Amino acid sequence: MVEISGLYVLIDPAACKHFSAVETAALALEGGATLIQWRDKLRDKGSQLGDARRIFALCAERNVPLIINDHADLALVLSEENRDDDRLGVHVGQTDLPVAGVRRIVPPAFIVGASTNNVTEAKAAASAGASYIAIGDIFGTGSKEGTRAASPARLAEVKAAVKVPVVAIGGINLMNVSEVVKFGADAVAVISAVCGADDPRAASAALVEAIRVAKS
């Protein structure tokens, strides 16, 4: 079973300021990212497939899971092409396909993550078969509109309520990452802190070190 911990970098082409999405993913992995999510809210799935393939190949080189945001069918194409279900997954939000439904159509080894905002949603997702729970919006994100506010205290409540790993997300950067780790985050998800950095490799490495220190 894949461990959900450490630095979880969401690769969104719209948030990649200085490098392409594939280049950013490569640099994040070089910096020590332990999970990568592919998230493209703008292009059709057929147009995303080439980038997703290349990023999955980069992840496979380092034995790092690739999670596809929203699109279970896109993840299934990668699975069929590579026969590597242990390192693939899907992440869904509250208005996407339900976790239980996704579980019925993906291979048993797939990682299925779920975005939640509170204990009730987190427990429901875990009961439905989520591999991990993402809790946010912790600090206020500029990468997505319409998020619901959470807090480090809410994160701690969710951590105490579920047995699956908990991922903190929302406005997390080098200045506040230690706080969410100390409140119980198993993994820390970032977008702008890496995708928007002048040097995504260095930004990832700094976050990895801050997480290590906070956990020690």
Amino acid at 75: A
Overall size of the chain counted in residues = 216
Whether 196 maps to a domain, the answer reads yes
The pLDDT score that the predictor gives to residue 141 is: 66
Domain that holds residue 123: 6-209
Q: CB under 8 Å to 94, separation ≥6 — which residues?
A: 115, 116, 117, 121
Q: In which band, very low, low, confident or very high, does the pLDDT at 182 lie, cut at 50, 70 and 90?
A: very high
44 secondary structure, DSSP code: -
Q: CB of 166 within 8 A of CB of 194? A: no
Tell how many helices (H) and how many strands (E) occur in the chain. Answer: 9, 8
Contact status, residue 132 vs residue 113, Cβ threshold 8 Å: yes
Q: Using an 8 Å Cβ cutoff, are 177 and 214 in contact?
A: yes
Q: What is the pLDDT of residue 1?
A: 66
**Domain presence at residue 214:** no
Rounded Cα distance between 101 and 26, Å, is 32
pLDDT in tens, 154-176: 999 999 999 999 999 999 999 99
pTM, rounded to two decimals = 0.95
**Side chain identity, residue 207:** L
Q: Is 67 part of any domain?
A: yes
pLDDT, tens digit (0-9, with 9 covering 90-100), for 10-65: 999 999 999 999 999 999 999 999 999 999 999 999 999 999 999 999 999 999 99
Classify residue 168: in a domain, yes or no.
yes
Q: What's the half-sphere exposure (Cβ side, CA atoms, 13 Å) at 33?
A: 34
Query: Cβ(165)–Cβ(133) under 8 Å?
Result: yes
Could you tell me if 56 and 76 are in contact, meaning their C-beta atoms sit under 8 angstroms apart?
Answer: no
Number of domains in the chain: 1
CATH of the domain at 66: 3.20.20.70
Residue 1 lies inside a defined structural domain of this protein: no
Is 215 within the bounds of a domain? Answer: no
Query: What percentage of the chain reaches a pLDDT higher than 70?
Result: 96
Q: Residue 73: CB partners within 8 Å, gap ≥ 6? A: 45
- Specify the pLDDT at position 37: 98
Rounded to the nearest 5°, which phi and psi values hold at 68? Answer: -95, 125
In a domain, 184, yes or no: yes
The whole-angstrom separation of Cα 152 and Cα 164 is: 18
d(CA 194, CA 143): 12
Residue 97 falls inside a structural domain: yes
Name the nearest CA neighbour of 80 among 120, 47, 107, 42. Answer: 107
Q: Which amino acid, 61?
A: E
